[in-house]
A and B are shown apart, each in its own frame.
Chain A
Amino acid sequence: MSTGTKKNKKTSSNSNGVPKLKFNSGWEYAPAPESQSHIQLKERYDLFINGKFVKPSSGNYFDTINPATEERIAEIAEANAGDVDKAVSAARNAYERVWKKMPAAERAKYIFRISRMIQERAREFAVIESIDGGKTIRESRDVDVPLAANHFFYYAGWADKLDYAMPGRIPSSLGVAGQIIPWNFPLLMAAWKIAPALATGNTVVLKPAETTPLTALKLAEIIQESGLPEGVVNIVTGFGQTGADIVNHPDVDKIAFTGSTEVGKIIQKAVAGSNKKITLELGGKAANIIFDDAPLDQAVEGVINGIYFNQGHVCCAGSRLFVQESVYNIVLRKLKDRIETLIVGDPLDKNTDIGAINSKTQLDTINRYINIGKKEGADMYQSSCPIPGKGFFCRPTLFTNVAQSNRIAQEEIFGPVLAVQTFRTDEEVIEKANNTPYGLSAGVWTDKGSKIFNLTTKMRAGVVWANTYNKFDPTSPFGGYKESGFGREGGLHGLSGYLKVKTFTSKKGKTLR
């Protein structure tokens, strides 16, 4: 034991810290782009209302571009208040006449069918997702699309089992759900919204983000093919105003929103006094905590995955790293070495680790925060990797010497930027980790079981990953504490956001709350 410690000391003293890790020993990666030949895209996409693709009443279309090439992919209809009204009426009509009356087991079969059809066309969806949003093909192929299909499959099975979901209650559907989703996981978020809404007997008006509407519209095609009754799912594309039109529509019974805390607050305020049920999945500034007894190589992998997965466009990204002081040097060394190996570039290349930033606007935001970080006195480190000359790209970035009050440690950047801080004691790191208005997720790395449970219990966050990070599953509830929103998506708990649960009947026949 004692000799082991001595040895460690010797090696570390050799190179003022830790020897450099060698990942690539002379081999180069050959390009391995995924083929685009099998995907089918139209030049122009209309609104999906009442089972048909219809032209927007304004006649306005906007471009959706490939953020990796800045080339136009297709033009997309912009829905105005009139179009939203048509979509809501279609959803209301479908709810009253068809969907709420349909036997739950039949409802389930439609949802199962949608899941299967996504699986059948998984490759096409993955490629389109990468083209439209800039995420790597590895991710859209292995994470987004399979999880989206699985989400439909999971909730399909709930449709005829809702009486088991809430002990002592008989739940019922709400009516028309208005759903607004972000651009970071376009298809997956559509699945997270639509699947539980349909399983619980509601009908849907969904608005995808303006920069990433394609997979939702491809999903509309699948929905059409699946024979789902007309109007049960309506998809209206547009900008923030289209979303606002949904939120403010008087005949919508439920608003589900995933996006920034800033917009979430506006929505919460807007629905005040309207009796609309609301769930919000908002921003985050997650702490990823490494203790000195953690398996450091795995922890570093977890940190890399935590912040650079999906270019850091993840609300639960581990954007704050807390390293226990005694292992700070070694962790930082390993982290920098690992960052050097990340490949930034063509999202469709299967070797790419970090794809394109979703939009010019977002790239500007990220660069603004990087400048703020530098101005506030933190030390920036960026990978020296090459980035393509065209398109929106950002090198993986980390900051050290970060103060708790620095904006890069307090505000959500939504990009590949990590703020590294240190700590000595458990109490200190718990205090620091919880000291933000957010509370979506957290990560803990230690080999000590009792410490894991202490930390996971003390984190004021809805999802806590211990010795892992950024894992998702349809059975696993996801959602935040504090200003990260309320309500859960996924799992049993994801049902209640779409159910009326205020009344139930006891065995004696008395009506209880």
Chain B
Amino acid sequence: MSKTVEKKSKLSISENGLEKISPKKRLEVLKTYKIYIGGQFPRTESGRYYIATNSKGDQLANVCLSSRKDFRDAVVAARNAFKGWSARAAFNRGQILYRIAELLEGRKAQFLEELIKQDVSKTQAQKEVAVAIDRLIYYAGWCDKYQQIFGTVNPVASSHFNFSVPEPTGVVAAIAPQENALIGLVSTISPIIAGGNTCVILASETKPLCAVSFAEVINSSDVPGGVVNILTGKPSELFSQFASHMDVNAVVYCGNDELIEKEIQQKAAGSVKRVFTYRDVNWLSEKGQSPYYILDLQEIKTTWHPIENIGGAGGGY
């Protein structure tokens, strides 16, 4: 058995002559940068692409130019995933976020390379990758704690037990920061999913490479398909759809364009979406992380139940 295999492989290697090529001369296998919907990596249904370049104009990749249909498909995936993800134990969500960090740590080199390709200096890229990993750990820790910070037991005057807890808002459509493509993306996604929401996020238009690679990290991190959906494309083409889609519960806009912000807010009114604009945030700094980012995308639910009160107020024993 083993003999034949050896024989066969020897034969095939000598046939294609790979052993004669030095690693330096070897033709590199290029990566196809695809989008990430429902745990799959499809190309955009539209068949459109755009070319990602660096500042020198070097062509880095053909990137999917996602369409509104891709967005709608992603919302369907996110909605389907919401029930399961929001019902996961908070502790389990924390472990899964930690797992993303573990895998990102293991693939640091790839992200460094991609950041550098996209004009980030080596030192800065190292910092960005490190902060991104640590940010995931930060939010992993919050998964089972923010409820205790933001929940309350309310001392109502009547004979009822009454408590309020945060619950995820639902499907969040987010436009990631254009700069700091990796840490911006990670800082936007983490509080959304730490809080039990699912999301569709549009990556930085000019620096999309890390986003697609980060989708691969997520895909191998026990994050159920559909919890995070990552599209590449142009915010200018898609933001209005993000705000008007009737099955989206909240919109997060990381950017400074006041006209875009206004139009998002206007269109969001169509289904009373919650809208959050994160303007001028330095995502590399401590400002880029806070449990209040989680709270933004939570609803407070209050539950009442009567307390048996036989024999008047104040049990005497």
Contact = CB atoms under 8 A, between A and B. Distances in A.
Interface of A: 150, 167-169, 261, 264-266, 268-269, 271-273, 280, 282, 437, 452, 456, 459-468, 471, 473, 475-479, 481-486, 488, 491-493, 501, 506, 510-513
B272 A265 contact: yes
Contacts, number: 127
B300 A511 contact: no
29 contacts: A150-B157, A168-B290, A169-B292, A265-B270, A272-B262, A272-B265, A456-B303, A460-B170, A461-B301, A463-B301, A463-B303, A463-B304, A464-B303, A467-B305, A468-B160, A471-B156, A473-B157, A476-B156, A476-B164, A477-B302, A478-B302, A482-B272, A483-B271, A488-B300, A491-B164, A510-B286, A513-B287, A513-B288, A513-B290
Contacts of A169: 292
A512 B287 contact: yes
Contacts of B306: 467-468
Given A464-B303, A466-B304, A478-B302, A473 B154 contact: yes
Nearest to A496: B295
Contact of B290 (A264, A272, A512): A512
Given A464-B304, A465-B304, A466-B304, A486 B274 contact: yes
Nearest to A261: B272
Contacts of A167: 149
Given A468-B305, A471-B160, A477 B268 contact: no
A491 B272 contact: no
A488 B289 CA distance: 24
Q: Which of B261, B266, B274, B301 counts the most A-chain CB atoms under 10 A from its CB?
A: B301
Contacts of A268: 265, 268-269, 272
Interface residues of B, number: 42
A283 B152 CA distance: 25
Interface string B257-277: 010011111101111101000
Contact of B299 (A481, A483, A511): A481
A465 B161 CA distance: 10
B302 A485 contact: no
A97 to B, nearest CB: 31
A512 B288 CA distance: 8
The 5 closest A-B pairs by CB, nearest first: A273-B262, A272-B265, A268-B269, A473-B156, A269-B269
B152 A492 contact: yes
B154 A269 contact: no
Given A273-B261, A466-B303, A512-B286, 18 more contacts: A150-B157, A269-B265, A273-B258, A273-B262, A273-B265, A282-B272, A456-B301, A462-B300, A468-B306, A471-B156, A476-B162, A477-B300, A481-B169, A482-B249, A482-B272, A483-B271, A484-B272, A486-B299
